[in-house]
Chain A
Amino acid sequence: MSPVESFVDLDDCRIKILRAGQGAPLVFLRGTDASDDWRPCLDELARRFDVIVPEHPGFGGQPKPKWLDRIADYANFYLDLFDHLGLTGVHLVGQGMGGWIAAELATRDTRRIASLTLVDAQGLWLDGVPTLDTFLCTEEKAITDQFHDAKLGEAEIARRLVPESEDIRLNNQVVIAQTTWQPRGYDPHLRKWLHRIDVPTLIVWGAEDRLLPQAYAREWGRLIPGSKVEIIAACGHMPPIEKTTEFVNLVSAFAAERAVA
């Protein structure tokens, strides 16, 4: 299934949106891997949902918006985007940095949200749990570390680290640093307000995530009232890529139970 590409001008920036499928809207917020390609997991989800994948402002070669200083700015932007697109009953799914954005968003306003799924999400800090510093390794290593299966990592390196995308990748890195460098990959204020999240929430985590070990999944689960934690075995930081079927089944089942009529 090939997605429809469109552009939205909003809040003094232009973003690309990929969209495919029919059903309840499912907004997928990517992590720091943000590239504009359409992955098999999105195809699978598009069989059941109206899948909407926005490219984060400042990514993909677009200039960094003037208002962008921290992840919370992204959260407010996406609230604007949901208003702009008139979306309701959104199943909001975020992976890595996208999970952090989604959690920030849900602490602010859940009126347009039907369910929330956080996948190996950044945004919290746990004392004494070793995490990897993705700013302190080569691009190759950063990708290798995302996967439990080394072969998948190699395939991703070959697919992503192509010369044509070098400028975009380096520019994305600047935006990632702008928003996640200090504190490194979390916001100390976020955990204070996670109790406000009043929509059904699913935490999906790779059991072998080396960037954010699964202790983080338990912490999200503890902090978000009534949330459910699902750990996927033999999987790293990227369940949508590494364990596509299990990931899609978990998300679909969870969303189906909580569909807004």
Chain B
Amino acid sequence: MKIFNFHLMPYAHADLEAIKRLGTSWMTYPNSYYDPKKGADLYHEYLDQLEFADELGFDGVAVNEHHQTAYGMMPTPGVLAGALARRIKNGKLAILGRALPLVNNPLTIAEEFAILDNLTRGRFIAGFVRGIGVEYHTMGMNPAESQERFLEAHDLIIQAWTRPGPFAFEGKYYKFKYVNPWPRPYQDPHPPIFTPSSGSLSTIRWAAQHRYTYCQTLAPIASVAQTFKLYREEADKFGYQATPDQFAWSNAIYVAESDEKALRDVRPHLEAYANEFLTRDPVMMAPPGYTSVESIKRMRALKSFMAGRSTAEDMIARGIVIVGSPNTVREKLAQYQDMAGFGISLTKTQFGTMPHQMVQENQIAIAKEVLPYFKDRLPQPTKAAAE
């Protein structure tokens, strides 16, 4: 298993009471709550953490993109990846991912990613996403065009990376007389492509068709396993067998001396993450056309489920996060790997309000107690899977 250190870079000093009152940490949570002095310190701490992860032997580091939210301070992840590109000496550098439909000119993403691939001499991983629903409000893009724009932007970027330029591109949304980007990617034909998603069937099918690594965003392990199974079935239909490196599970891990201490330490930060930083109005999240009518109906039905507060115990029990002693964490990670069959773990070592020193201790513990045990570990067939 490859274990990446994934960061969301939350604004850890967010006013949790204000978020509760407003019912969201996205879009309408006023940016007057952002203190640049505190924010600057956080950026440096978070970048230090990712550089530290590389020194500790994590297989890679990853950042992502969200807009107008305290949940994550990386609206232009390329800037953060650029800051990391000369410091990450060993592992991969991944942006998981950039939201293709949110830009008017996807060639800028082809260029940005190609630079990062050159800077890392071929250790860059390119993540392509559509962005979440609220981003169609904050970026002023039409959600009804999201799917089509994503597919067209993807085609344009792949062509820009692989077709000798200059050539003309005439799409419905993107039209260029000249496509001839410099630099070209370092990797041949292009960086590996990861597709993070919350599990929409169309994305799963599309990723399977292109053999892109599918990353499941934060979800209970049972549903992760179900989603990966769907991908495998789709891969079968496309005439090949999917391998573990095509599956990445996005999780959070916290290790301490004992299960009790780990839970005690992690509770306020994990619960702030799940209940405040993630808080968003369901209407914001489901703009028309962003998902199918069926998905919107499913989301509406889930409204009551989303209303309750998550506890740390609940998130641990459902296998959304792994928290505990070294033994517990190793056992669960192995068990979950066998259950879901992933070859990549995208692991947050910081979440919510967790402070710098605690994160570093967690990183050290994971590097010492977890990484060595999973170095070449592949999913083992489980009894349930064999049946």
Contacts and interface: CB of A to CB of B under 8 A. Distances in A.
Contacts, number: 43
Contact of A174 (B137, B140, B283, B288): B288
A178 B140 CA distance: 12
Nearest to A173: B288
Interface in A136-189: 136-138, 166-167, 170-171, 173-178, 181-183
Contacts of A175: 144
A135 interface: yes
Given A170-B293, A170-B297, A182 B141 contact: yes
A122 to B, nearest CB: 16
A135 B138 CA distance: 12
Given A166-B297, A170-B297, A176-B288, A181 B142 contact: yes
Contacts of B293: 167, 170-171, 174
Interface string B13-54: 000000000000000000000000000000000000000000
**In the complex, which range does the number of interface residues on chain B fall in?**
10 to 19
Given A135-B137, A138-B283, A178 B297 contact: no
B333 interface: no
Contacts of B287: 135, 177, 181
Contacts of A178: 142, 144-145, 289
B133 to A, nearest CB: 11
Interface in B241-286: 281, 283-284
B365 interface: no
Contacts of A136: 137, 281, 283-284
B143 interface: yes
Chain A interface helix/strand/loop/mixed: helix
Nearest to A170: B293
Which residue, B143, B281, B287, B289, has most C-beta atoms of chain A within 10 A?
B289
B371 interface: no
Nearest to A171: B293
A174 B297 contact: no
Contacts of A173: 288-289
B296 interface: yes
B137 A177 contact: no
Contact of B289 (A138, A166, A167, A177): A177
Nearest to B282: A138
A135 B137 CA distance: 9
A144 B140 CA distance: 25
Interface in A38-89: none
A189 B244 CA distance: 52
Given A166-B297, A167-B293, A171-B293, A135 B140 contact: no
B284 A177 contact: no
Contacts of A183: 140
Nearest to A139: B283
B140 A182 contact: yes
Contacts of B136: 181
Contact of A181 (B143, B283, B297): B143
Contacts of B137: 135-136
B327 to A, nearest CB: 47
A88 B188 CA distance: 64
Given A176-B288, A177-B287, A178-B289, 9 more contacts: A135-B137, A136-B283, A177-B143, A177-B288, A177-B289, A178-B142, A178-B144, A181-B144, A182-B141
Kindly list the 3 A-B residue pairs having the minimum CB-CB distance in the complex, ordered from nearest.
Answer: A173-B288, A178-B144, A177-B288
